[in-house]
C-alpha cells in the first residue's frame, strides 16, 4: 500500500480536496467486513419495535450538484425515508442511547480493522419501501472521482434491523460480492470508489437500516 495515502492531508485545496485520500485503504475485498449478530437479539427487538413507530421524516437536506452536471447529493431519493438523530432522540432517548452504544462498538471495530482512529457521527435510520433501490455509488466520491457532498465519510457501516423482506441485497460489483442482509448484521467498508456498492430493489415489505458514517482522525 502506498504509505503516502495513509497520511492525513493538512493542506486541502480545490485541486486536492481530500483530508483522507481516496485509495488510502487500498482495494482489497478484505476491507468489506461483515459481522453477523453485531446487535444483541434483545437490543435488536427493541429497535425493531421502535422503527414501527417512526412517524417523522427529515427532509431538510437539499440536493447539491456540480455546475457541470453531476449530482453531489440527491434529496428526492431520500424523501420521507430518513429519521434523523434529533428525531430518534426526541421520540425515544433510550433507543438513541442504545444505537449510540453500537456506534461506539463499531468505532472500536473500525480502529482495529482499518488500522486507524475514527470518529463517529450520530445515528439515523433509513426506511426502504418496496421499489426502493440504490445505484452503485461510493459514500464520499461521485463516480468520476470528485468529492460528493460528504467527502469526509472515510469509513462507513450499516446495521441491519430486520430481514423479513424480499430483495434489498447489498452488492459490491468490483468485488463480486452480494450480501443478503440478516437482522443484527453489521457491514463496513471504506467510502471511496474502490468500494462501489448498491442495493437491489426491495420487492416486498419494509427494510430498515441504520447507516453510520465515520471520519479518520489518525492513522496508526
Ligand atoms: Fe453507501
Please give the pLDDT value at position 3. Answer: 65
- What is the CA(65)–ligand 1 centre distance, in A? 18
Q: Report whether 141 contacts 147 (CB < 8 A).
A: yes
Set of cell numbers at residue 104: 461506539
- What is the CA(121)–ligand 1 centre distance, in A? 15
Does residue 92 sit within a domain? Answer: yes
From CA 23, how far away is CA 188, in angstroms rounded? Answer: 16
Please give the pLDDT value at position 155. Answer: 98
Does residue 151 sit within a domain? Answer: yes
Does residue 180 sit within a domain? Answer: yes
- What is the CA(213)–ligand 1 centre distance, in A? 9
Residue 15 has pLDDT above 90, yes or no: no
pLDDT cut 90: percent of the chain above it? 93
Does residue 161 sit within a domain? Answer: yes
- Among 190, 143, 178, 183, which residue's Cα sits nearest to residue 160? 183
CATH number of the CATH domain containing 145: 2.60.120.620
- What is the CA(106)–ligand 1 centre distance, in A? 16
Please give the pLDDT value at position 10. Answer: 84
Please give the pLDDT value at position 2. Answer: 61
From CA 81, how far away is CA 204, in angstroms rounded? Answer: 16
Please give the pLDDT value at position 180. Answer: 97
Does residue 208 sit within a domain? Answer: yes
Q: Output the average pLDDT for the chain.
A: 96
- What is the CA(16)–ligand 1 centre distance, in A? 23
Does residue 146 sit within a domain? Answer: yes
Per-residue model confidence as pLDDT tens digits over 113-169: 999 999 999 999 999 999 999 999 999 999 999 999 999 999 999 999 999 999 999
- What is the CA(110)–ligand 1 centre distance, in A? 16
Per-residue model confidence as pLDDT tens digits over 155-203: 999 999 999 999 999 999 999 999 999 999 999 999 999 999 999 999 9
What band does 79 get if pLDDT is binned at 50, 70 and 90? very high
Section 10-21 average pLDDT:
88
- What is the CA(152)–ligand 1 centre distance, in A? 13
Q: What is the extent of the structural domain holding 158?
A: 31-219
- What is the CA(64)–ligand 1 centre distance, in A? 17
Residue 1 has pLDDT above 60, yes or no: no
- Among 129, 137, 139, 206, which residue's Cα sits nearest to residue 172? 137
| Total structural domains within the chain | 1
- Among 118, 123, 141, 124, which residue's Cα sits nearest to residue 197? 141
From CA 203, how far away is CA 169, in angstroms rounded? Answer: 10
Does residue 182 sit within a domain? Answer: yes
- What is the CA(211)–ligand 1 centre distance, in A? 8
Please give the pLDDT value at position 206. Answer: 98
pTM score, whole prediction = 0.96
- What is the CA(83)–ligand 1 centre distance, in A? 17
Does residue 134 sit within a domain? Answer: yes
Residue 68 has pLDDT above 90, yes or no: yes
- What is the CA(135)–ligand 1 centre distance, in A? 9
Amino acid at each position: 500500500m502506498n504509505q503516502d495515502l495513509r497520511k492525513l492531508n493538512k493542506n486541502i485545496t480545490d485541486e486536492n480536496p481530500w483530508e483522507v485520500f481516496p485509495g488510502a485503504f487500498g482495494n482489497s475485498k478484505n476491507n468489506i467486513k461483515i459481522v453477523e449478530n453485531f446487535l444483541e437479539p434483545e437490543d435488536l427487538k427493541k429497535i425493531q419495535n421502535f422503527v414501527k413507530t417512526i412517524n417523522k421524516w427529515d427532509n431538510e437536506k437539499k440536493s447539491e450538484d456540480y455546475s457541470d452536471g453531476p449530482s453531489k447529493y440527491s434529496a428526492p431519493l431520500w424523501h420521507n425515508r430518513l429519521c434523523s438523530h434529533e428525531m430518534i432522540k426526541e421520540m425515544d432517548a433510550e433507543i438513541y442511547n442504545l444505537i449510540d452504544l453500537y456506534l461506539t462498538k463499531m468505532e472500536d471495530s473500525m480502529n482495529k480493522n482499518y488500522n486507524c482512529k475514527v470518529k463517529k457521527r450520530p445515528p439515523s435510520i433509513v426506511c426502504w419501501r418496496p421499489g426502493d433501490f440504490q445505484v452503485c455509488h461510493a459514500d464520499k466520491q461521485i463516480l468520476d472521482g470528485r468529492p460528493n457532498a460528504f467527502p469526509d465519510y472515510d469509513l462507513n457501516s450499516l446495521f441491519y434491523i430486520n430481514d423479513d423482506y424480499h430483495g434489498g441485497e447489498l452488492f459490491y460489483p468490483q468485488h463480486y460480492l452480494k450480501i443478503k442482509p440478516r437482522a443484527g448484521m453489521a457491514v463496513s467498508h471504506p467510502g471511496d470508489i474502490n468500494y462501489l456498492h448498491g442495493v437491489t430493489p426491495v420487492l416486498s415489505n419494509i427494510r430498515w437500516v441504520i447507516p453510520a458514517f465515520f471520519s479518520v482522525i489518525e492513522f496508526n
